[in-house]
Structure 1
Amino acid sequence: MGSMRVNKVADRVKVVVAEMLDRRIKDPRLGFVTVTDVRVTGDTQHATVFYTVMGDAEELDATADALESAKGLIRSEVGKQLGMRHTPSLEFVRDAVPENARQIEDLLNRARERDARVAAKAAGAEYAGGADPYKSKADDADDLDEMDDSDESADGGSRA
């Protein structure tokens, strides 16, 4: 992560940009935008603003265009509110976290469905080699007794 100063600048930029989008930017192309994160470089010369938009692909594109056209106004307000010698340049990037979360949730749902199908198939299944496929000491003793019995019957029942 960055220094305390860089983190404070990033937090302040996030607040200022969110307030600007909520109150001052009246572009009709601007959809329902949420500023999710701001990352500022170590020298505070560049800020990347991550945002999400509710809507379809057309609304996403329109919002991206609106943000790009309002970038200068937002940057000047950030400069006024931060009171820094150099105002960071702004870059708006659509946050992919919601789409990634949705894809992960879909994958998890498919895995749960497959697990349920496997469990349903396994419910009535029986073991191929018996419930306990491993030999125990009692089994070894039984096998030795059987071998002794078969040896006696082969000799005619008596040993000399």
Structure 2
Amino acid sequence: MAGNERAARLADRIRVILAERLEKGLRDPRLGFVTLTDVRVTGDLQHASVFYTVLGSEEERLASADALRSATGMLRSELGRNLNVRLVPTLEFIADALPENAGHIEDLLREARERDAQVAGLAASARHAGEADPYLVRGEADDEA
């Protein structure tokens, strides 16, 4: 358990350090508006997966991915200066599919609401096929009263 807590603390610290460094800016014109969404560190603290999103078009996303890939060494040395660990984890930048997934979920929810409205419209004008209580026999109604 303690190893997982340490990995989580290290992941949070890595995210903060990298975000501060990206906020200061890299000298790469290809880098767009990058937001770090998550960092996951392996249990042995040797590898860090950095998830990010880029605001902009597909070309800007690809250019930012190339810029991050080329700046990996410099960002790792920045981590080495700011982390108190014996071995600095390797970095892997992964484009986060969160915005695309969220858009897809929104489309599905909108479609479900439209179908629910259609079913509610049909149900409002629907009638029973027979009587309201098909199990009630006319002779029994008099006995129950």
TM-score by length of 2: 0.89
Residue type at the aligned position of 2:138 = D
Aligned counterparts, 1:140-151, within 5 A: 141=140
Q: Residue 42 of structure 1 corresponds to which residue in structure 2?
A: 43
Q: What CA deviation, in whole Å up to 9, does each residue of 1:83-134 have, x standing for no partner?
A: 321111000001112211111111010010011112112222211112223x
Corresponding position: 1:19 with 2:20: yes
1:37 Cα deviation from its structure 2 partner:
0.6
- Secondary structure at 1:3's aligned position in 2? helix
Map residues 3-152 of structure 1 onto 2, 5 A cutoff. 3-133=4-134, 135-136=135-136, 139=138, 141=140
Instruction: Give the unaligned 5+ runs of structure 1.
Output: 143-160
* Higher mean displacement: 12-21 or 121-130: 121-130
SS in structure 2 of the partner of residue 4 of structure 1: helix
Q: Deviations over 1:19-54 (max 9, x none)?
A: 111104132211111101100111111100001111
Q: How far apart are the structure 2 equivalents of 1:94 and 1:71?
A: 14
> How many pairs align?
142
| Alpha-carbon separation, structure 2, partners of 1:114 and 1:24 | 47
Say which SS state the counterpart of residue 50 (structure 1) adopts. strand
| Distance in 2, Cα, partners of 1:141 & 1:121 | 33
Amino acid at match of 1:116: A
Change (3 A) 1:128 1:12: same
Unaligned stretches of 5+ residues in structure 2: none
Distance in 1, Cα, partners of 2:21 & 2:124:
59
Within 2, Cα distance between the matches of 1:121 and 1:55? 43
1:140 to partner: Cα distance: 5.0
Once residues 133 and 80 of structure 2 are traced to their aligned partners in structure 1, the CA distance between those partners, rounded to angstroms, is 74
> CA 1:127/1:86 → structure 2, altered by over 3 Å: closer, same or farther?
same
Partner of 1:43, secondary structure, is coil
Max Rg structure: 1
Q: TM-score, normalised by structure 1?
A: 0.81
